Amino acid sequence: MMFCFAFVLITMLTSFVQSILDKKSDKRDKEQMNQQELTQLEQQPSVNCSDVKEFKFDYYLLSISCVCSYSAFLILQSNGIRMFQIRYNLTLTQQTFLYTLPYFISATVTPFIGYFIDKIGKRPIFLIISGNLLLLSTILFSKNVDCLIQDQCFSLVLLAQFINGIFFALYAPVIWPCIPLCVNANSQGTGFGIIGSIQNAGLTIFPIIVGRILFNENAISYQHMIYFLGFITFLANISNIIIYFYDIYHDNKLMKPTLKLSEYEVVSEQEELTDNTRVD
């Protein structure tokens, strides 16, 4: 309990420090901006609930990809240790190692992947790659194997979890930067909020279904769970593929690399994006 309290306290302190830094950053930016840039910034349209109606098709495709991909991964992880024990007959040490492996890979590799994607863009392609990695790990877990002898299936699970880790490291720096590119500049918070709500809805509904599948907990029921997660992953992959083709015919905005712009250019670009969205 004290350990959890310490984490909550650290989170609160971090949020407090972040708020102070953000306030100082805003003040510094305004001091560095000239009058023309300030005027452009002040003339940005205000947030309106009706802006949600202007979200394009690619935004909702991203929502489907997000809810399906994260649900498949997180549900697998939350049931992983029990599955490793019951279906794969692994030791406790092996179970905990395999559970933490995707998170360790993600913590190590994600910053470098994010930097690389900022440099080259191609986000829809990396969405497809990440989705196929998740599907591949699901296929490995769906194999009907005999694990009566302890440690016999360790290599298979290790490979599947390693692939899961690569997926988790790749998916986050690809999916989240796509959202600001698909919504108006003054609706980005709303865009993140809605997609977060959809994701949490999936993480509410899908675990209930999995709970019914695992009502009689045994090796076969865990295999059925994998089949269900494979179906969710398949939906995510379909969404990723449609995103790729949709982006091709809509200015390739997700394919472009991230460019560092001045404050004035950022405001101008955001206004242009808003105007184009409303015209469409």
pLDDT value of residue 22: 66
Per-residue pLDDT of the chain (280 residues), as tens digits, is 666 667 667 777 877 776 776 667 666 666 665 555 556 555 555 555 556 667 788 899 999 999 999 999 999 999 999 999 999 989 899 999 999 999 999 999 999 999 999 888 889 999 999 999 999 999 999 988 887 776 778 999 999 999 999 999 999 999 998 888 888 777 788 888 889 999 999 999 999 999 999 998 898 999 999 999 999 999 999 999 999 999 988 888 888 887 654 444 444 555 555 555 444 5
For the chain, give the mean pLDDT: 83
Q: What is the pLDDT of residue 38?
A: 55
| pLDDT tens sequence across 150-185 | 677 899 999 999 999 999 999 999 999 888 888 877
Hey, what domains does the chain have and what are their CATH numbers? 61-256 (1.20.1250.20)
pTM of the model: 0.79
Alpha-carbon span 250 to 214, nearest angstrom: 43
pLDDT of residue 75: 95
- The pLDDT assigned to 257 comes to 83
